[in-house]
Amino acid sequence: MILELKDVHGYYDKSHILNGVDLAVEQGTSVCLLGRNGVGKSTTMKTIMGMLNPKEHCKTEGSIRFEGKELTGMASHAIVRLGIAYVPQGRHIFPTLTTEENLRVAARVGVDGSSKWNLESVYEFFPRLKERRDSKGDKLSGGEKQMLAVARGLMQNPKMMLLDEITEGLAPIIVDQLAVMVQNLLEEGVTILIAEQNVKFAMKVSSDCYILERGKTVHHQATSQLTAETRKKYLGL
């Protein structure tokens, strides 16, 4: 397993948000994290990235291992340097920088020395971003901003990407384009963990599924075997 969480608990000050998250991701696969609003999907992503730390009046307990290395207690910048790229909910691109400047500021050689993802390869993968390379971040459409957020993560040449609610607020046609993008990334060998409210999208692009309820893992199954009964029970669909 490239990533494994065991009995992970997360606290915002005195609020106990994660109550025992267990999940595992095999290298080269895509795994989705599902659940109703407010069950802890985004908090799980932030916890993996070391963002629930004492400086933010937060706390993480339990084991989070990436390639066998314990991440709990590690600083966020150190986790990034191990080869994990995080695409947060809300995109968070730099609005006053151009598309190309947003990409350049994120560029780095991978932990294994890889420089596969650079401006040339990213523009080939996202031709729309090449067309918009001189446009400021705040002038991009919602779909373009989301592509840029993912592309910026790729510029880090990561071993794994965490994608948090990347379909939020986007038109169905753009969501379909993002599904193709994720499938193409898998073909390129990128390991992916997706937290999603859009169940249809998540099931289309993942091979394994974990469902959270009240901050705890309550169901795990191959995505292809997830039944309508299970979806209705835990997701209300």
Q: Which amino acid is at 145?
A: K
Q: How many domains does the chain have?
A: 1
Q: Which residue has the tokens 């992916």?
A: 192
Which CATH number does the domain housing residue 143 bear?
3.40.50.300
Digit-by-digit pLDDT tens for the chain (237 residues) are 999 999 999 999 889 999 999 999 999 999 999 999 999 999 999 999 999 988 778 999 999 999 999 999 999 999 999 999 999 988 889 999 999 999 999 999 999 888 999 999 999 999 999 999 999 999 999 999 999 999 999 999 999 999 999 999 889 998 998 999 999 999 988 999 999 999 999 999 999 999 999 999 999 999 999 999 999 999 887
Calculate the CA dihedral of residues 163, 169, 175, 178 and round it to 10 degrees: -30
Q: Which amino acid is at 128?
A: R
pTM of the model: 0.93
Alpha-carbon span 66 to 158, nearest angstrom: 13
Domain that holds residue 110: 3-235
